[in-house]
Structure 1
């Protein structure tokens, strides 16, 4: 996994990558890490002064496919239509969807849905929180997508990643879905890029080998960016801007929703999983 940041040219503090696969993985570069039990902090493999945050979610694409099959006629086209026709913040409907035992947070299989009455995003005072058995299909789709990325934003910030990140690079199968990328840009509040190649890990391994050879030849550490400086657009390392940053007022409203979601998540972990301080 430590080869992935190199393969994505992830080397500047504030850079964030989200790999959207069977499991979802978040990689972040920071100079001020805040280690916690629910994720990992490594020395940055391509920067002697930085650190890499890694967060792993077991319920990724298979859980998105499960909701698609149950609520969207087994069609990504219908799934995306539902995501586009429902308003951001989902009218205060939030959900936790764990088709498999989850790693982050450490919770068992289960689905948990809540409605925040009178939620406008301006604050959390006076909100009534009601548990729900089910949502209508469009709301279920948005609750899933918003829930996954609100969790990523919340935990990344707890590990020392800035808000908003400098940029996000999305990779993996679901990074081809522009409706999902739009939600990422709205929730995180930064531009979202995609890569034009598969196998970031194997490419990163090759770059790390070349980087090691260069450092050995020079007799001292050399920034890995020297390998591709001024050459990115001519190589498979280039990234494409796929979605511009969301409206900052909406980003702030998502911050309120994220805070409430984390309150509920902590309560679920305390009652059903392994409590973490």
Structure 2
């Protein structure tokens, strides 16, 4: 039984493989955690692997939007069954896997505003989406759309100057363009396009939620200087797109009070505020509370998105360690730093190395690539630098030791593995006082400090 005597704040994370939630009290202490694993907890969507469908071309990757809705139904029921007291929640926020997009059907806004609290969301929103399979960040099927976007705005560098990045296949602009080109009827049926983060916020708000600046900057659509949609990028993507997106909003924005649906069905207070949701990486950074010189590694990402992170580690674990993380770790401990010169650039079907060498080559190669990329962008390891690790692999000490050796810096972890959830709960708390000039740093100053996990080996820098 979870008994709350003070106000609390909820942070949700709609990630690739699961939906997670963390609740904190007014003293920044974690008082509840829960999750729904898409593959195992939602048998109706059992065709997903790792929360996604990889299509026959090997390039198109999507997730069923109804799976995300059903997951929210389930996690709230699990919290209710655990005795969680929703009446104490002052504010909620959340995060979502970045770049993924959701296409709301014409007329759905009215449906969101009139939800029947006697029915679950999944049944209420059965006919609410123009596109049932949402493209996600693992998709790489939009090469042509990327090429056109860059050409239309004056080249890759010009696009980067506007939006902060050249065109990437997973980015939302190219995914929207593909849907408009290949499924024009579906595009025309779409009333609003959301990111996964703003889609989730919309469910809680009972209305369409704006895309926040942070997550919006990963779409190849937002001018990062004006924080508004770039007209050339909109024009190069699809017609009438501005009306389908609506204006982006600050990440600290109070979007409104929670939908009456959640008040009546679960007992949330009417005054509970919904704070703008953001991307999972920004959410994780908020949860890790970086200081100057620190580096955050989410153990798929280091302030950047990679497709060859945890999923590749899981594949190599299955192929080389019989699916056992314990055997995977033993292989890391049994091989030397530097792996005698073997660095992983992994492809299917290459079997020229021992399993132990292949495992270390994978992990060292991933972290070396991250360090090199970070240094190219100006990051430097300075005295006092800490590496803060989060994500599922942050509990694996062997992986953390390799990370520490590669960056030649101590690695710290936080007690809560779900840093995106924790960061979202912190953000929910901060948003209530941000308008008074209170900084995020001051808001979370009393949170539990990160704990030292490993130090680099003395010879790491030389290797």
Are 2:285 and 1:5 equivalent residues in the alignment?
Answer: yes
- 2:301 aligns with 25
Q: Does the CA contact (< 8 Å) of 1:195 and 1:240 recur in 2?
A: yes
Are 2:454 and 1:175 equivalent residues in the alignment?
Answer: no
Are 2:436 and 1:217 equivalent residues in the alignment?
Answer: yes
- 1:55 aligns with 304
For residues 77 and 156 of structure 1, the distance between their equivalents in structure 2, rounded to whole angstroms, comes to 30
Are 2:405 and 1:186 equivalent residues in the alignment?
Answer: yes
- 1:251 aligns with 461
**Deviation at 1:187?**
0.8
Identify which of 183, 196, 206 aligns with 2:425: 206
- 2:443 aligns with 227
For residues 170 and 112 of structure 1, the distance between their equivalents in structure 2, rounded to whole angstroms, comes to 31
| TM-score of the two chains, using structure 1 as the length reference | 0.60
**Deviation at 1:112?**
10
Q: Does the residue aligned with 1:161 lie in a helix, a strand or coil?
A: coil
When residues 75 and 166 of structure 1 are mapped into structure 2, their CA distance, relative to the original with a 3 A threshold, is same
**Deviation at 1:209?**
4.0
**Residues 27-176 of structure 1 aligned to structure 2 (within 5 Å):** 54-97=303-346, 110=347, 134-163=352-381, 166-176=385-395
| TM-score of the two chains, using structure 2 as the length reference | 0.37
**Deviation at 1:66?**
1.5
**Deviation at 1:212?**
4.0
**Deviation at 1:178?**
0.5
**Deviation at 1:244?**
1.6
- 1:197 aligns with 416
Q: Does the CA contact (< 8 Å) of 1:190 and 1:246 recur in 2?
A: no
Q: Does the CA contact (< 8 Å) of 1:187 and 1:246 recur in 2?
A: no
Q: Does the CA contact (< 8 Å) of 2:413 and 2:452 recur in 1?
A: yes
Q: Does the CA contact (< 8 Å) of 1:191 and 1:244 recur in 2?
A: yes
Deviating above 6 A after TM superposition, structure 1's stretches of 4 or more consecutive aligned residues are none
For residues 159 and 5 of structure 1, the distance between their equivalents in structure 2, rounded to whole angstroms, comes to 18
For residues 140 and 240 of structure 1, the distance between their equivalents in structure 2, rounded to whole angstroms, comes to 30
**Deviation at 1:59?**
1.3
Q: Does the CA contact (< 8 Å) of 1:167 and 1:193 recur in 2?
A: yes
Q: Does the residue aligned with 1:17 lie in a helix, a strand or coil?
A: strand
Q: Does the residue aligned with 2:426 lie in a helix, a strand or coil?
A: helix
Please, which runs of 5 or more residues in structure 1 have no aligned partner?
27-53, 98-109, 114-132, 254-277
Bigger Rg, structure 1 or 2: 2
- 2:148 aligns with none
For residues 427 and 322 of structure 2, the distance between their equivalents in structure 1, rounded to whole angstroms, comes to 44
Q: Does the residue aligned with 1:62 lie in a helix, a strand or coil?
A: helix
**Deviation at 1:86?**
0.9
- 1:32 aligns with none
Q: Does the CA contact (< 8 Å) of 1:95 and 1:112 recur in 2?
A: no
Structure with larger RCO (C-alpha < 8 A, sep 6+):
1
CA RMSD of aligned residues (A): 2.2
Q: Does the CA contact (< 8 Å) of 2:416 and 2:422 recur in 1?
A: no
For residues 424 and 404 of structure 2, the distance between their equivalents in structure 1, rounded to whole angstroms, comes to 29
**Deviation at 1:88?**
0.7
Identify which of 425, 444, 452 aligns with 1:241: 452
For residues 140 and 251 of structure 1, the distance between their equivalents in structure 2, rounded to whole angstroms, comes to 22
Measured against aligned partners, the alpha-carbon deviations of 1:215-244 in whole angstroms (never above 9, x if no partner) come to 4214xxx44221133x233xxxx3211112
When residues 111 and 146 of structure 1 are mapped into structure 2, their CA distance, relative to the original with a 3 A threshold, is farther
**Deviation at 1:200?**
2.3
